[in-house]
Amino acid sequence: MPEVVRNLLGVPEASYLQPLLYGLRDSSADLELLVDFPSQLALRLQQRVDSVRCAFLSPIDYARHGGDYLVVPGVGVSSSSRTDTIQLFVNPNVQNVETIAVDIRVTSEIILAKIILAEKFPNLAAAKGSLQFIPMLPKRDEMLRTADAALVVNFSPHAQTPDEPFALDLVDEWNDLTGLPYVHGVWVGHDEAEAEAIVETLLLAKEHGVSHLAEIAEVISTEHHVTREFSKQYLSGFSYGLAEEEQQGFAEFVRYAYYHGILPDVPDLIFFEGSAPPAQSVN
């Protein structure tokens, strides 16, 4: 019998991604979800492992191999205000942040922390030498015992508790710095027929999802034991398009990463053809 080729979508286990996936349940497309850490999804897509046709990648993971990828137009996840998705906790007795314990699952969020500290809080940044990142499991208190600060990425709704220490919301800080949304990720694939065939499905799934946010909020509230109202409020903090403002936010993040020596160059943002907007240069 001929081997059945699966078409996999690589996705992180993030609640804010659910409006992009909700419509896939009723899709006739032969797609399966492969759930993994963002850093691992980037590796799988780059190396074309396990028939991963498209993956939801962060801006930095796209930019590192931008020449190899195309972006699905009109679809992404971004936010401009506090959702407590990307939090930077700083020990209260620390004068200069020289070490940050970081979540081993993430990539762009680490770069975002470096950018925000350097650009907005230079007095808090390391006084001598370069900032050191310490990869750890995402356990805040243990991270703060190990390092001057802890970068915590919440992939599900995060309800603050009265005893929670103060944290910078890095999305809020990014918006204050640039006036632009922070793009958490976009659908990315290789320039190949198998990926191109999936583009329309992803566009339709997004439209279906954003028109059913109440139902999605209900599912999230049940899965994560939060109220429906809190779940609705959580989802309302995200946008699911990739229009000009989101493209500018994506481009600005890549430029900052280049300026701070993280990227060797600044790639263009290039879309799949068809219903795509024109290729957007981020130079």
Residue 32 tokens, joined: 């399966």
Q: Which domain holds residue 133?
A: 86-178
CA distance 31 to 7: 5
Give pLDDT, residue 280. 43
Q: Is a pLDDT exceeding 90 seen at residue 5?
A: no
When pLDDT is cut at 50, 70 and 90, the band that residue 4 belongs to is very low
Is there a domain that residue 267 lies in?
no
Q: For 101-136, what is each residue's pLDDT tens digit?
A: 998 889 999 999 999 999 998 877 655 567 899 999
- Quick one: pLDDT at residue 279? 41
**What's the confidence (pLDDT) of residue 122?**
80
Token duo for residue 84: 């407590």
Burial 246-275 (b: 16+ CB within 10 A, else e): bbbbbbbbbbbbbeeebbeebbebbbbeee
pLDDT at 38 over 50: yes
| Number of domains forming the structure of the chain | 2
Q: What are phi and psi of 271, to 5 degrees?
A: -105, 155
pLDDT for the residue numbered 31: 86
Instruction: Select from 178, 203, 236 the last residue of a domain.
Output: 178
> CATH number of the domain that 40 lies in?
3.40.190.10
pLDDT band at 29 (very low <50, low <70, confident <90, very high): low
Does the structure show a pLDDT above 80 at 183? yes
What mean pLDDT value characterizes the chain?
A: 89
DSSP code at position 271: B
DSSP element (H, E) containing 224:
helix 213-224
